[in-house]
Amino acid sequence: MRSIGYNLFIILLLVFTMQGCTEKESVGSVLAEPRVYDGVLEIVSEPCVEEPCMPGMVFSLAISEDSSLVVVRDGIFVRWHSNSTAMEKFGVEIGDSLSLNGICEEKKDLNNKKYLTLTVK
C-alpha cells in the first residue's frame, strides 16, 4: 500500500497523460499551459546540448512506443545515476506508470536531432 505522501506527490508533481506533445503543438514554441501526460518512467541517453557532448542518462516519460518526454526541472535535465535518488525518494522506480503535469516543448540537439522535453515544477 502506498503512503498518502506518495499519492499526493503523484497527483501534484507527477501527473502525465497519454496526450502527446505533438509537432503541431510544439514546433518552435512552448505550450503556454501545462498539461497532464501519462506514461512509463524510463531512462534515456542525455541529448547533446553542449560541446563536448557528455555521456549520461536522464529520466524521461515514455508516452507511446516511439515518443518520450525528457524530464526537465529548473531548466536542467533530471539526470539518472546508478546511485540516484532523484525519483526513488518519491517512491517511484524505472518502469512505473506515472502521470506528470508540465509544459512540453520540441527541441533540437547540437546534432540537429529532435527531442521532446517536459518541464515540471
**28, pLDDT greater than 90:** no
User: Strand, coil or helix: what is 80?
Assistant: strand
All structural domains of the chain: 4-120 (2.40.50)
CA–CA separation, 40 vs 51, rounded Å? Answer: 30
CA–CA separation, 16 vs 26, rounded Å? Answer: 17
The pTM of the full predicted model, rounded to 2 decimals, is: 0.72
Mean pLDDT of 56-84: 89
Per-residue model confidence (pLDDT) at position 84: 64
* Mean pLDDT over each residue of the chain, to the nearest integer: 77
Per-residue model confidence (pLDDT) at position 32: 62
67 neighbors 116 (Cβ within 8 angstroms): yes
Mean pLDDT of 11-32: 44
**62, pLDDT greater than 70:** yes
Q: For residue 112, which amino acid is it? A: N
Per-residue model confidence (pLDDT) at position 121: 86
Looking only at the bridges linking them, the beta strands covering 35-45 and 76-77 are unpaired
pLDDT tens profile 4-15: 444 333 333 333
Per-residue model confidence (pLDDT) at position 12: 33
User: Strand, coil or helix: what is 75?
Assistant: coil
**41, pLDDT greater than 90:** yes
Instruction: Tell which residue, 13, 42, 25, has the closest CA to residue 102.
Output: 13
Mean pLDDT of 13-22: 42
The x, y and z cell numbers of residue 45, run together, are 541517453
CA–CA separation, 12 vs 117, rounded Å? Answer: 19
Per-residue model confidence (pLDDT) at position 80: 85
